[in-house]
Amino acid sequence: MNKILPLKDVREQLSDLVSRVAYGDQKVLITKFGKPVAALVTFKDYEKIVNPAKRFTKEEWDKGFEFIDKARMA
């Protein structure tokens, strides 16, 4: 289940929200003045966002590079 919460509520519930995100597979969208400004996600999800190699299995990664190499040769 995903939640959308204003920053004020996140401040009051931060400890509980971190536990829910870390152990309950929940994501939290944080808003300020009604507009999205940040998100609270698991560290695993964060790693996938900042490190493209972690988004794919080794086989998928290798297959993608094989495709790119073939395209360059053509």
Q: What is the pLDDT of residues 19-69, one digit of tens each?
A: 999 998 899 999 999 999 999 999 988 988 888 777 788 888 788 888 888
Q: What are the angstrom distances between the C-alpha of 37 and each of 9, 32, 71?
A: 14, 6, 39
E strands within 1-74? 2-6, 27-32, 35-40
pTM surpassing 0.85?
A: no
pLDDT the model gives residue 55 = 77
